[in-house]
Structure 1
Amino acid sequence: MHELKRILLVEDSPNDVELILTALSENRLANEVVVVRDGEEALDYLYRKGVFKLRMEGNPVVVLLDLKLPKVDGLEVLAQIKSDPELKAVPVVVLTSSREEQDLINSYNLGTNAYVVKPVDFHEFVDVIKELGLFWAVVNQPPPGSVPSRRTI
């Protein structure tokens, strides 16, 4: 059986999490979406620490990363991912409401694969998420190690 690829969603806004999950499911993307609410949880997930120490091996197929996060901000998470030899090949899509030019520049300088500003309009937001999900979880070929090597029941 084909193994579904996991998506890591790093988002502190409950409303945005709900919109993103709804948009992905409306597009019939059955991928597991792991939701973490701050940068510290994101790093714990990626490094299999804390509550995630027993999670299945393998990296997510893509990280959807908000920039304005509690505890550890998105730019710090991005810098950590892209500076780690084990994680740097994991695609990171910055998904943020920030239109600040410096955030855009910093994100690309740190190695983001894409920078997407969250649309304010509900329907546009849903459409953007559907397209992101389709591309990163279905169309794009993930780096080795992003698909779990074994199934858990």
Structure 2
Amino acid sequence: MSEEASKVILLVEDNPDDVALTLRAFKRSHLVNPLAVARDGVEALDFLFARGAHAGRAEQPLPTLVILDLKLPKLDGLSVLKALRADPRTRLLPVVILTSSKEEQDLISGYALGANSYVRKPVDFTEFVEAVKVLGIYWLALNQLPPRPATA
């Protein structure tokens, strides 16, 4: 497996249409990274911390990038972000909020809680594909990640 293909992305998104659009956008953009999907905030934290149904992931590395929606069932995106930043294992994990929210308070809260980027979902498919392509290129190819924390 190539180094790029081993960089897993976690998409935290409950809307099946947005999941399908993101998958299509990645494919059209020739981004080969595996995309794991969590459909609510609790599942996202279970995936990241290898708990519950995702306990088998304990030996696998964290995703390279989390793409996080804000409006999620069970646990909203801001609460997920707060939990990630509170844990030393995920404190430095890049998190991009990708949301349809136009609320200024969501933007402010996202950055205050440690989001690395905040992107409003374009409604137009072509613009959405371009946004995902740019996100992928920047976060997976250009961005220099911090070293992985030592595991306990």
Question: What SS does structure 2 have at the residue aligned with 1:115?
Answer: strand
Instruction: State which drifts further: 67-76 or 121-130.
Output: 121-130
| Structure 2 match to 1:145 | 148
Which one scores higher on RCO, CA 8 angstroms, separation ≥ 6? 1
| Structure 1 match to 2:133 | 130
Question: What SS does structure 2 have at the residue aligned with 1:54?
Answer: helix
Q: Distance in 2 between matches of 1:143 and 1:53?
A: 25
Q: How many residues align?
A: 146
For 1:56-135, what aligned pairs fall within 5 Å after superposition?
56-135=59-138
Q: Distance in 2 between matches of 1:144 and 1:35?
A: 24
Q: Distance in 2 between matches of 1:87 and 1:61?
A: 11
| Structure 2 match to 1:16 | 18
Letter in 1 for 2:132: I
Letter in 2 for 1:44: D
| Structure 2 match to 1:149 | none
Question: What SS does structure 1 have at the residue aligned with 2:97?
Answer: strand
Is the 2:28–2:129 Cα contact (8 Å) retained in structure 1?
A: no
Is the 1:7–1:137 Cα contact (8 Å) retained in structure 2?
A: no
Q: Distance in 2 between matches of 1:28 and 1:2?
A: 14
For 1:45-64, what aligned pairs fall within 5 Å after superposition?
45-55=47-57, 56-64=59-67
Query: Unaligned 5+ residue runs, structure 1?
Result: 147-153
Return structure 1 stretches of 4+ with deviation > 3 angstroms.
Answer: none
Deviation, structure 1 residue 95: 0.3
**What TM-score do you get using the length of structure 1 for normalisation?**
0.91
Q: Distance in 1 between matches of 2:24 and 2:48?
A: 24
Letter in 2 for 1:130: K
**What TM-score do you get using the length of structure 2 for normalisation?**
0.91
Query: Unaligned 5+ residue runs, structure 2?
Result: none
| Structure 2 match to 1:43 | 45
Say what the alpha-carbon RMSD is for the aligned residues: 1.3
Letter in 2 for 1:29: L
| Structure 1 match to 2:28 | 26
Instruction: State which drifts further: 99-108 or 130-139.
Output: 130-139
Is the 1:65–1:95 Cα contact (8 Å) retained in structure 2?
A: yes
Question: What SS does structure 1 have at the residue aligned with 2:22?
Answer: helix
